[in-house]
Amino acid sequence: QVQLQESGPGLVKPSETLSLTCTVSGGSISTGSYYWTWIRQPAGKGLEWIGRISTSGNTNYNPSLKSRVTISIDTSENQFSLKLSSVTAADSALYYCARASAVCFDYWGQGALVTVSS
């Protein structure tokens, strides 16, 4: 059973860079035709797709965040990561990592709460 776990600082200062890592267990991140994905959910609100990375390193980002987002993958550590630069309070949210099997998200992490505040 594949499991995903987000980790990273829970508090980030405005204008700084948010960094999160998702560790995958129960299977190799480089096996299969999956996209490894980041999704966020502001408190009390809906879900926003941030972007994804394939096992070969191809990335796609939400245009609304594209200039500030970088997703990378480390197959040796079975991890993938999210960096979001120049954060503001609007970036405060619960950040989920997920596996996209074909086109839907079949496994999710439990979420990492990130607050942007000085």
Does residue 10 belong to the site contacting another protein (CB under 8 A)?
A: no
User: 6, 110 in Cβ contact below 8 A?
Assistant: yes
State which of positions 42-61 bind another protein (CB under 8 A). Answer: 46-49, 60-61
Instruction: Give the distance, in angstroms, between the CA of residue 106 and the centroid of all CA atoms in the same chain.
Output: 15
- Work out how close the CB of 28 gets to another protein at its nearest, in angstroms, rounded to a whole number: 20
Q: Please, where are the H alpha helices in the chain? A: none
Tell the residue number behind the tokens 């776990």, with chain if given. Answer: 5
Binding residue for another protein, selected from 62, 70, 78, 85, defined by CB under 8 A: 62
User: 36, 97 in Cβ contact below 8 A?
Assistant: yes
CA dihedral sign of residues 86, 37, 50, 73: positive
State which of positions 85-104 bind another protein (CB under 8 A). Answer: 96, 102-104
Q: Which helix (H) or strand (E) holds 23?
A: strand 18-25
Does residue 63 belong to the site contacting another protein (CB under 8 A)?
A: yes
- Work out how close the CB of 13 gets to another protein at its nearest, in angstroms, rounded to a whole number: 27
- Work out how close the CB of 62 gets to another protein at its nearest, in angstroms, rounded to a whole number: 4
The amino acid at 54: S
- Work out how close the CB of 16 gets to another protein at its nearest, in angstroms, rounded to a whole number: 25
Residues contributing to the site for another protein (CB under 8 A): 46-49, 60-64, 96, 102-106, 108-111
